[in-house]
Amino acid sequence: MQQASSHQHHYQHSAKPPVSRSSSWIRRSPPPSPPHKKLWGGGGGGGGGRSRYVCRIVPLLVLTVYSIFTVVRIPSSSLVVSTADSERVERREDVEAFKTHLPSNQNNLEAREETRSPASLPCSALINGEAGGGQAAAESALCCDRSHYRSDVCYLRGDVRTDPSTSSVLLYNAPRGSAPEKVRPYTRKFEGSIMSTIDEVTIVPVVDAGSGSNGTTAGDTGKDSLRRRCDVRHPPGVPAVVFSTGGYTGNVYHEFSDGLIPLFITAQRFAGEVVFVVLEYHYWWLGRYGAVLERLTNYKVVDFRYDRRVHCFSEMIVGLRIHGELVVDPKLMPNAGRRRRPPRRRRRSRRDHAKVAKPKLVIFIRKQNRVLLNLPHIVTACRRAGFAPHVMNLRRQTPLPAIHAALSSADAMVAVHGAAVTHFLFMRPGSVLLQIVPVGLDWAADAFYGKPAQQLGLGYLEYKVAPEESSLAAEYGVNSTVVRDPSVISSRGWWEMKKVYMDRQNVTLNIKRFGELLRSARLHLKNATACGKAASAATTTAASATSWS
């Protein structure tokens, strides 16, 4: 509009150019002909005037015919502009404007680099390592993903330095607009009572003075002297993962569900080239799970609270990713499209077959609550069903490799609902988990162990304790509300439910009903073995066909 108005202003003030006679027909209409005269035809003295009129009218007729022909040729659909078309036009105009600022042979390259800028990527892409390399990887970054109901996770890249004295992490040369962030790096964000006990980490962005950001500023003069001196400088490309072993650590279920599995999800993409920085560090925890940690990191674990040295990193993740209860969702893992070749199974010799004539069944027992009061009868029932039973009484000092060795070679596992059931993670796909569910614990048994076991490829069976099989029947009465309607107690909250159904209940199984469940377990194992042999034969046949082709 400004351009049009400027042109109009220009024409108003410029002198009109002289107009030649030959072009006067464009500006003036010919004078009307007298009604008694004809435009053309015979007539003596009017011949010159008639020819002049013909010369003026013919061009007008030609222009009129050309206009009508042009309108007729245009399709009706092209006269209607849809919203999508208008958006395409606007985008095309933006592209044209973009081309005027960049050489045409660099348009695609510059556009790709712009989409990979940290500012234009979701924080989850940076945490998962999906941002790629190039110029974006060299830029400093600070963001937090607080979208998950289980955990908050923050990502830092640049000059990252720990400050144990203030329980904080400093990011120097932080991006403009960065603000301090506070994170409790534990995966039970929805549970306020336990999260309040977790140490909080403060992320402090330090940016250049005059940048207009919300972070702490440092001037150019003496800027390096203001930075905390690095006592331990970790190699570039070796990030830190910060997490807490507080909360429910000490309960084996939570140690796996809230800690080790989220740690695997977050750190496995680094293939060992990562440093673990732990809040609320426990030496017994390192002693118990040291073998697991050695598979995830090539470096010593850093005790954030008591290691007073300043550790410097080029990248850091504060908090852990989590997919759910005791599960790893392959679709949510970085590089999910890459398939790993499954390990080959060792062929068993005749001696091995003789040793495993009966499928191995491991029974986990408890000593304080949810005790199997008729354990000897249960062991006998397992033998009668064709199993070779092994009883395990777990203690805190029981080495994890010993538990793994017992279960990785087992065909079935029997356990009363509780933290020890977590060890089904060590079992092979196709084996069976048989969970004994006391009164009032149906939902927890299915959510915490039943569904995860099935997702990992295990056969899952439940023995639901009847009211008369629970010790609560003797304490409250078999027809009491506590025994017959556990929802009344559960509605009062988790801790009230735990006090009654988890802390004060023991069970006595009906051996006949339990034996029927054991036979179902044997049938499942037979079917799984048959399917395994068929799959192995099909694989061998396919391999042979491939070798002959």
Kindly state the average pLDDT of the residues 240-269.
Answer: 96
Asked whether the predicted pLDDT for residue 350 surpasses 80, the reply is no
Other CB atoms within 10 A of residue 69 CB = 9
Asked whether the predicted pLDDT for residue 158 surpasses 80, the reply is yes
CA 495 to chain centre: 31
Which band of pLDDT confidence, cut at 50, 70 and 90, is reported for residue 528?
A: confident
Question: For residue 124, what are the contacts with CB-CB under 8 A and spacing of at least 6?
Answer: 130, 145, 147
Note the pLDDT of residue 207. 78
* pLDDT tens digits, 274-292: 999 999 999 899 989 999 9
User: Largest alpha-carbon pair distance within the chain?
Assistant: 140
Note the pLDDT of residue 116. 42
Residue 280: which region, alpha, beta or left (left: phi > 0; alpha: psi -120 to 50)? left
Q: Are strands 168-172 and 153-163 parallel, antiparallel or unpaired?
A: antiparallel
Other CB atoms within 10 A of residue 39 CB = 12
* pLDDT tens digits, 491-502: 999 899 999 999
Q: How far apart are CA 234 and CA 245, in angstroms?
A: 23
Note the pLDDT of residue 545. 46
Arithmetic mean of pLDDT over the chain = 78
Determine the 3-state secondary structure of 503 from DSSP: coil
Q: Report which residue type is found at 112.
A: R
Q: How far apart are CA 42 and CA 63, in angstroms?
A: 28
Percent of the chain with pLDDT over 70: 66
- Of 146-150, 511-515, 529-533, minimum mean pLDDT range: 529-533
**Higher-confidence position of 3 and 527:** 527
Q: How far apart are CA 183 and CA 199, in angstroms?
A: 9
Asked whether the predicted pLDDT for residue 221 surpasses 90, the reply is no
Note the pLDDT of residue 496. 94
Kindly state the average pLDDT of the residues 113-134.
Answer: 68
Note the pLDDT of residue 2. 44
Degrees (nearest 5) of the Cα angle 31, 33, 34?
Answer: 130
CA 219 to chain centre: 38
* pLDDT tens digits, 441-453: 999 999 999 999 9
Other CB atoms within 10 A of residue 154 CB = 24
Note the pLDDT of residue 419. 94
User: Which residue is listed with tokens 């988990």?
Assistant: 433
Question: Are 128 and 163 in contact, with CB atoms under 8 Å apart?
Answer: no
Percent of the chain with pLDDT over 90: 57
Cα–Cα nearest to 24, from 63, 65, 59:
59
In the 3-class helix/strand/coil scheme, how is 368-412 assigned residue by residue?
A: CCCCECCHHHHHHHHHHCCCEEEEECCCCCCCHHHHHHHHHCCCE
Looking at the domain 360-532, which fold is it?
Answer: Rossmann fold (3.40.50)
Kindly state the average pLDDT of the residues 496-510.
Answer: 96
* pLDDT tens digits, 319-335: 999 998 998 988 888 76
**Higher-confidence position of 210 and 309:** 309
What stretch of H or E contains 388? strand 388-392
What does the DSSP 8-state code read for residue 17?
P
Q: How far apart are CA 132 and CA 6, in angstroms?
A: 49
In the chain, ranges of CATH 3.40.50.360 domains: 360-532
Q: Which two tokens stand for residue 383?
A: 């033998």
- Of 214-228, 386-400, 504-518, minimum mean pLDDT range: 214-228
Where are the strands (E) in 405-505, listed by range?
Answer: 412-416, 432-437, 459-464
Residue 388 bridge partners (DSSP): 360
Q: How far apart are CA 201 and CA 188, in angstroms?
A: 16
Q: Which two tokens stand for residue 509?
A: 């199984």
Q: How far apart are CA 319 and CA 266, in angstroms?
A: 9
Helix, strand, coil shares of the chain as percentages rounded to 5? Answer: 45, 15, 40
Q: How far apart are CA 122 and CA 268, in angstroms?
A: 21
| Helix (H), strand (E) counts: the chain | 21, 16
Crossing angle of helices 400-408 and 283-293, rounded to 10°? 40
256-275 core/surface letters (b: 16 or more CB in 10 A; e: else): bbbbbbbbbbbbbebeeebb
* pLDDT tens digits, 368-383: 999 999 999 999 999 9
CA 363 to chain centre: 36
Q: How far apart are CA 372 and CA 396, in angstroms?
A: 20
Which band of pLDDT confidence, cut at 50, 70 and 90, is reported for residue 53?
A: low
